[in-house]
Amino acid sequence: MPLSSSDPESASSAVADRLAAVRQAMAEACRAAGRPPEAVALTAVTKTQSPEAVDAILGAGQRVFGENRVQEAQARWSERRATLPDIELRLIGPLQTNKAADAVALFDLIETLDRPRLAEALASATDKAGRGVRVLVQVNTGAEPQKAGVLPQDADALVAQARALGLTVEGLMCIPPADEAPGMHFALLRKIAARNGLAALSMGMSGDFETAIRFGATQVRVGSALFGERKGPDAPSMS
């Protein structure tokens, strides 16, 4: 169930409990994989969440957040960031080239670089802003036509282009097909990252983050396990 704003104290307690449970599950998955718990970072997906839910998870100590849309993130985080400078914001939704400058100004990490034109737009925006931004290349491991991401066979070329443009490419991101076992997609992403010398792997969401950790995820994106199921057509895609 989603968090309710009718009882703020109860909502804060619920999100704190869920955050603790997710962190515990992550730690156990790391131990099972022979990895230290600190090897995997948690990105809390706050798209569409109420101010009460966001404040509750901030109060519970979470500082890394993922957002799908630039404009929504600006409204949610501009004031909060002024008082909490240790917040890290990550863009995990598709980015239009005409929003590149806004994204560079707001986000610390853009996880959805998926085409040459966007790489060029981000490089131009960073030059004009005088502010670098870290990026991940999103790979469409399932080659799904409705989903963003560079095809696996084109990923190496996009990584090389982004590097040549001066972007700081830290790693890769993927969203496996909903109707397939995620493990083979996580393994493919890890293979592409290894041959390109990339360390960061953003993979795994509420339903499969433990599997992702087993396959080497360094970042997991969790929304519904923290806040309850979201409504809306894009709700299952990122968390």
Contact indicator for 88, 108 with CB cutoff of 8 Å: yes
C-alpha dihedral, 49 to 55 to 60 to 63, nearest 10°: 80
The three-state secondary structure class of 109 is strand
* Residue 234 CB neighbour total at 10 angstroms: 14
Instruction: Fill in the DSSP letter of residue 197.
Output: T
pLDDT at residue number 234: 47
The pTM assigned to this predicted structure is 0.91
pLDDT surpassing 70 at residue 92? yes
> What would the pLDDT profile of 30-55 be if each residue is shown by its tens digit?
999 999 999 999 999 999 999 999 99
Taking only the tens place, the pLDDT of each residue in 140-171 is: 999 999 999 999 999 999 999 999 999 999 99
Q: What is the mean pLDDT of the chain?
A: 92
Does the pLDDT at position 131 exceed 90?
no
Which pLDDT band, with edges at 50, 70 and 90, does 89 fall under?
Answer: very high
Burial 33-55 (b: 16+ CB within 10 A, else e): eebeeeebbbbbbbbbbeebbbb
Residue 134 region by backbone torsions, left for phi larger than 0, else alpha for psi between -120 and 50, else beta? beta
Residues contacting residue 9 through CB under 8 Å, at least 6 positions apart:
none
